[in-house]
Structure 1
Amino acid sequence: MSDWNEFRIVLAIGRAGSLAGAAKDLGHDHSTIFRWLNALEKRRGVQLFDRTTHPYVPTEAGLQMVLAAERLEAEILAVDRAITGQDARLSGKLRITSSETLAYRILNEVLAGFRRAHEGIELELLVDNRQLDLLRREADIAIRATRPREGELFGRKIASTPWTFYGSRRYLADRGCPSDLAALSDHAVIGWDSGAVAAASKWLTDNISPHAFAYRSSSLINQLMAVKAGLGLALLPCYLGDLEPDIERVQDPLDELTRELWLITHKDLRHTARVRAFFDHVGGGLLARRALLEAECGGHSTMAG
């Protein structure tokens, strides 16, 4: 098998467990992936996936091809990073991934300053609460609330970001302020959708009565807007809630939900000129806003006592 595209198709199906997932990953439609897989199996005279299961399970031949594809991908990405890491031009594209709350509240202002200083660099911002894989070049740089664990990654800590509950003045005037965390279960609480894996979502599931949830959303920005509309109380990062004039903190920040904000890239890319410029300018811009990120400004509060 000399065609890398054959390996990419099989690898994408193996990772996604479905044709639809592979189609999304590869940027094609379901019918195209279906046609390619049928043609590949016919050409090789072997079945690569058991299609009667969900998710799809590779056959023995399919598993061999998936494992080979993973090795090929790792080699290709390593060469790509090595070449990109030697790029001394302050031009080209940078793919950055960030959470929606950071993008909404802080990041665009910092990126605007970066663009004024480096007009030759094109920025592509992937707003995603998932952790995109920097090892697979799903992004060049990540700004995420997680310390990098993989040895291949290089990071710079920006701040520690606390979270707490917020409510609108209208809601608090009608329902009062919860006296402590236990009292939150007697209020209308805004939560995450059932498929969420965020630490805040898990904390809410573990600590708040399921009967208290009045509204759920997969978007923290939507949860913020729901708080402003008076739908209930929501657990939000303080840098998001503190600057809203019509909502207030109802509890002290929760120590167990404080997160570290990091600027991260792959070690092979850290000396690329545009990546280095991004770390210097955007990293500096975020550090200049550390007081906001760490909620040192306090914020409006109606906490009891």
Structure 2
Amino acid sequence: MDDWNDHRIVLAVARAGGLKGAAGMLGVDHSTVFRRLTALEGRIGLPLFERGAGGAYVPTEAGARAAAAAERMEDEALGLARDLAGLDRRLSGRLRVTCSETLAFRLLTPWISRFRARHPGIVIELAVDSRVLDLSRREADVALRVARPQENDLWGRKLANVAWAAYGATGYLAAVPPLTGPADLASHPLIGWEEGTAGVNAARWLAEVAPSAAVVYRTDSLVNQMVAARSGVGLALLPCYLGDPEPGLVRASPDPIADLSRELWIVTHRDLRNTARVRAFFDAVAHGVQADRALIDGLAARAGTPA
């Protein structure tokens, strides 16, 4: 196995557990992965995977060793790429950023516009994704996260506390008594997440304070939850930076819900912290957060919010 592409094939199949997933990782078609893997096994005279039911591919002992070696090679290559990128002092090139749907929708895009006006040589690629992308593997260069990073190889800073509140359509909330506490949510139609949603703080909290029968509409998109609440479907839990500026939508009670407050962080890999375009983007986002801090902290609710 003296061709790096052979190692990539083995590693992708081992990670995906099948040909289809591996093809997606590598950006090739299913038949290409099958043909190259079959040819590789023929050359080395050993099966690397056992073919199981439903198209599953399980590494043999040889396959597991080959995949582990490929992963070490990948780690070295990625480390070298990060080292070289960390020495880059140019305010030009590609910068891949990842954040959630709501941050991109309401906050980050205007910040990027101002950043691009100042640094036209930097091309931004924005990956809008609720998953935590792997910065060590360069799935992104910079991430905006609503939780303190746990990985030891990341470097970043806390930007703000993100406030959340319950929101509903102006007409609906004008016709009902204001909420006096979380327990009152159960007496209203609610908008929630798909059942079984994991890792969403607000989804867990809502499941604890209101019965499932109170939820009349479910979607994992917070932007869609906002639109549904504005349309009168029910009340939705939203970050204040998303709900407060939206016409036709008001808070169900004036104060943010303390239990739902999250931390907003900007992070990168430690190897990239001195890259010029990364540092410039950090500064631009910090400036944007400062300008929008009242909105993010939940202190900028519009007049007309129910008392």
Report the equivalent of 1:49. Answer: 49
**Which whole-Å deviations, capped at 9, do the CAs of 1:174-208 have from their partners, x for residues lacking one?**
66544432232232211122453222222233333
Partners of 2:130 and 2:257 in 1: CA distance: 20
Partners of 2:46 and 2:179 in 1: CA distance: 63
- With 51-60 and 219-228 compared, the bigger mean Cα shift is at 51-60
- With 278-287 and 240-249 compared, the bigger mean Cα shift is at 278-287
Partners of 2:52 and 2:81 in 1: CA distance: 37
How has the CA–CA distance of structure 1 residues 31 and 82 changed in structure 2, closer, same or farther, with 3 Å as cutoff?
same
Partners of 1:20 and 1:204 in 2: CA distance: 37
CA deviation after TM superposition for structure 1 residue 107, in Å: 1.0
Partners of 2:178 and 2:48 in 1: CA distance: 59
Q: How does 1:151-190 map to 2 (within 5 A)?
A: 151-173=152-174, 177-190=178-191
Partners of 1:134 and 1:247 in 2: CA distance: 36
Structure 1: gaps of 5 or more residues:
none
Q: Are positions 1:302 and 2:306 aligned together?
A: yes
Q: How does 1:220-299 map to 2 (within 5 A)?
A: 220-251=222-253, 252-299=255-302
Q: How does 1:60-75 map to 2 (within 5 A)?
A: 60-75=61-76
- With 36-45 and 272-281 compared, the bigger mean Cα shift is at 36-45
Taking only the aligned residue pairs, the percentage that are identical comes to 52
Partners of 2:12 and 2:295 in 1: CA distance: 41
Partners of 2:147 and 2:259 in 1: CA distance: 14
How has the CA–CA distance of structure 1 residues 10 and 203 changed in structure 2, closer, same or farther, with 3 Å as cutoff?
farther
Partners of 1:90 and 1:270 in 2: CA distance: 14
Cα RMSD (Å): 2.0
The code of the aligned residue for 2:293 comes to R
Partners of 2:52 and 2:64 in 1: CA distance: 16
The code of the aligned residue for 1:265 comes to T
Give the TM-score taking structure 2 as reference length: 0.91
The code of the aligned residue for 1:23 comes to A
Report the equivalent of 1:32. Answer: 32
Report the equivalent of 2:205. Answer: 203
Equivalent residue of 2:241, what SS?
Answer: helix
- With 248-257 and 141-150 compared, the bigger mean Cα shift is at 248-257
The code of the aligned residue for 1:211 comes to A
How has the CA–CA distance of structure 1 residues 179 and 31 changed in structure 2, closer, same or farther, with 3 Å as cutoff?
farther
Report the equivalent of 2:217. Answer: 215
Give the TM-score taking structure 1 as reference length: 0.91
Task: Answer yes or no: is the 8 Å Cα contact 1:158–1:290 preserved in 2.
Answer: no
Task: Answer yes or no: is the 8 Å Cα contact 2:98–2:144 preserved in 1.
Answer: yes
Task: Answer yes or no: is the 8 Å Cα contact 2:256–2:298 preserved in 1.
Answer: no
Partners of 1:148 and 1:247 in 2: CA distance: 32
Partners of 1:19 and 1:243 in 2: CA distance: 46
| Divergent runs of 4+, >6 A | none
Q: How many residues align?
A: 303
